[in-house]
Chain A
Amino acid sequence: MHKMNVLEISGLEKRFGEKQVLRGVELTVPEKKVYGFVGRNGAGKTTTMKITLGLLEADAGNVKVCGESVHYGNTKTNRFIGYLPDVPEYYSFMTPMEYLKFCGEITGLPAKEIKTRSEEMLRLVGLGEEKRRIKGFSRGMKQRLGIAQALLGKPKLLICDEPTSALDPLGRKEILDVLVAAKEETTILFSTHVLSDVEHICDEMALLNDGKIVMQGSIEDVKKKRRSNAMEIELEKASDAEEMLRVFGKGQQNKEPQMLTVLRPGTLLLGEPSMQPEILRYMADHEIAFARMEKREATLEDIFLEAIKE
């Protein structure tokens, strides 16, 4: 069976008054993936998600969920989607179990399934024993309950809007673990500006900047594309670093870019790999010892910064 795209967004545009927030977003999310939706605050992530949920009206473009078009207002496509808003709010007078029952009933699940599924989901997010009303819940607990309610109806697509942004490191880890566990059942689109989260759990990612997708693909592809061949050279003595910098620091005839730059005190970065033998020869001749020398991996952060600069 050929792989279906759970979400297809094409040419999506949206403006709020004077501000053009989305300028032709193109995004395709394949089935059974954890898809990271990355971008700075205000890049248009939430807007894109809200349009997908029929909560906002697009000015132009098309959004399809499981092959069906999304309409503003009452949209039938929501039956495929589980949604976790950035700051989820619930009816605080209910207990988690009651809230899930309520969710199940409005979704139209059979009573028996609601019960078993609610228990299963609350266990998954670690709220199985929680009998208190939602009123006294912490942010992390609300976020976890949010995942439970979003997954209750076995959605084909789980949309999470910045699920980890407001949490402490422990809460963040809990949410990421739950999302990884949920990956077995559903496709996850999750927005964030925390790149380490993307690196931890996502299979694919898209980078939204200034209302456009500037990069998308699997995490490895994205990283490969920008893999730099730069070398990090850490020297035993800081004075040696200064000496090397004096010799190789300036480009030849001051025209070419610098061969060596300072990364940290005592550590130099070699931008041009072809110069490697020459550097090593110089070090051998002058008996300069190095502590460490390795190829530098481009982090998503580098890629991110580079992409939004363009």
Chain B
Amino acid sequence: MRAFLKKEWMEMTRTGKLLILCILFIMFGIMNPAIAKLTPWIMEMMKESIEESGFVIGKVTVNAMTSWTQYYKNAFMPVLVIVLMSSGVLTNEYQSGTLVQVVTKGLSRRKILLSKMISVYCAWTVLYMALYFGVTYVYTVYFWSEDKVEDLFAGIIFYWLMGMFILALVLLFSTIANNGGQVLMGTGIVYMVLFFLNYVPKLQKFMPFRLMDGLQLTMGSLKMEDFIPALITSIVSIVVCGMISIVLFDKRRL
């Protein structure tokens, strides 16, 4: 299995995937504090045209919270990028037939799938934590060092878990689908179904979507307890998706 993980790493670095991901995640990370920092200046630029239409702009103040608001607003982008990048993690290998040789060499299917899971989850964890969060954090602290932000880290971790949940779906569909498009479609459909279920008030607090509301924890409008049901459903879903994936992958035609 170590050999297969090593191969995954080699693939990420040599095909330039890792480089692209790093650049994108750093860009996303810089964007949040940058937009916050630039807001007053942008407002100033547009002042005249806005005032012409009858609005009056007062003094715009930005602080660390502005940056973190941007962080949550934009966090779907890193998720989207990692999902797009991962949609071919197995399907590309089905199409090229490379897994056939690995399986006939005697590596068990479970080890293959486990390696894929580890590499996808690790990529997301490192890129999200070190680059998306890390870069935003460093710049935000640098620009607004006096601002105190409460309960920041829990919300950040919740959003990471949301990413893990969606990646678990991507991996699950990767064991059934024949190409990356089908993986994205399956994941998209589940996402849509959950999105509509989220309108049922009784279900809301169990929905993984709740994990995207970390900002409200920081602002104080939600408490830690409010996240627990969603945390549990998400973790259980990730585990269950993983187990179903193993069963399906064992019987899949390569």
A contact residues vs B (CB 8 Å cutoff): 53-56, 72-74, 76, 78-79, 81, 83, 85, 87-91, 93-94, 98, 102-103, 105-108, 149, 153
| CB within 8 Å for A93 and B104 given contacts A73-B251, A74-B250, A85-B97 | no
Q: When the two chains form their complex, are residues A93 and B253 in contact, meaning their CB atoms are under 8 A apart? A: no
Q: In the complex, how many angstroms separate the beta carbon of B178 from the nearest chain A beta carbon?
A: 16
Assess the B104–A105 pair: CB atoms within 8 A: no
Asked if A106 meets B4 with Cβ closer than 8 Å, knowing A91-B98, A93-B14, the reply is yes
**What's the minimum C-beta distance from B103 to chain A, rounded to whole angstroms?**
7
Interface residues on B, range: 20 to 34
A191 to B11, CA, bound (A): 33
For window 1-17 of chain B, which residues contact chain A by CB distance below 8 Å? Answer: 2-4, 6-7, 10-11, 14-15
Closest residue to A149 on the B side, CB-wise? Answer: B101
- Across the interface, which residues of B come within 8 angstroms of A105, CB to CB? 2-3, 6
User: Nearest Cβ distance between residue A188 and chain B, in whole angstroms?
Assistant: 16
CB-CB under 8 A for A89 and B107, given A73-B250, A106-B3 = no
Q: Provide 20 A-B residue pairs closer than 8 Å at the C-beta atoms, listed in order of the A residue.
A: A55-B103, A56-B253, A76-B106, A78-B104, A78-B105, A78-B106, A83-B100, A83-B101, A87-B97, A89-B97, A89-B98, A91-B10, A91-B98, A93-B10, A102-B6, A103-B105, A105-B2, A105-B6, A106-B3, A149-B101
Query: CB-nearest residue of chain B relative to A88?
Result: B101
- The reply to whether the CB of B205 lies closer than 8 angstroms to some CB of chain A is no
User: Helix, strand, loop or mixed for chain A's interface?
Assistant: loop
B53 at the interface (CB under 8 A from A): no
Residue among A53, A73, A78, A149 with the highest chain B CB neighbour number at 10 A: A73
Whole-angstrom distance between the alpha carbons of A153 and B253 in the complex?
Answer: 24
The answer, among B3, B98, B104, B105, for a CB contact under 8 Å with A55, is B104
Nearest chain B CB to A78's CB is how many angstroms away?
5
New A-B pairs, 10, CB < 8 Å, besides A85-B100, A89-B96: A53-B104, A56-B253, A78-B104, A78-B105, A83-B100, A83-B101, A89-B98, A106-B3, A106-B4, A106-B106
B106 touches A107 (CB 8 A): yes
Residue among A102, A106, A108 with the highest chain B CB neighbour number at 10 A: A106
State the CA gap A83–B3 with chains docked (Å). 19
Tell me which residues across on chain B come within 8 A of A107, comparing CB atoms: 105-107
Q: Which A residue sits closest to B2, measured CB to CB? A: A105
* B109 in complex: contacting residue of A73, A81, A83, CB < 8 Å: A73
Tell me, rounded to whole Å, the shortest Cβ–Cβ distance linking A49 to chain B. 10
Contact, CB under 8 Å: A106 / B98: no
Q: Return chain B residues, CB-CB under 8 Å to A98.
A: 10
Is B19 part of the contact surface with A, judged by Cβ < 8 Å? no
Taken together as a complex, chains A and B put the C-alpha atoms of A103 and B107 apart, in Å, by 9
Min C-beta distance of B101 to chain A, whole Å: 7
Given A74-B109, A89-B98, A106-B4, CB of A94 within 8 Å of CB of B104? no
Instruction: Give the complex CA separation of A91 and B108 in angstroms.
Output: 18
Closest CB in chain B relative to A204 CB, distance in Å: 23
Chain B residues near A83 (CB-CB < 8 A):
100-101, 104
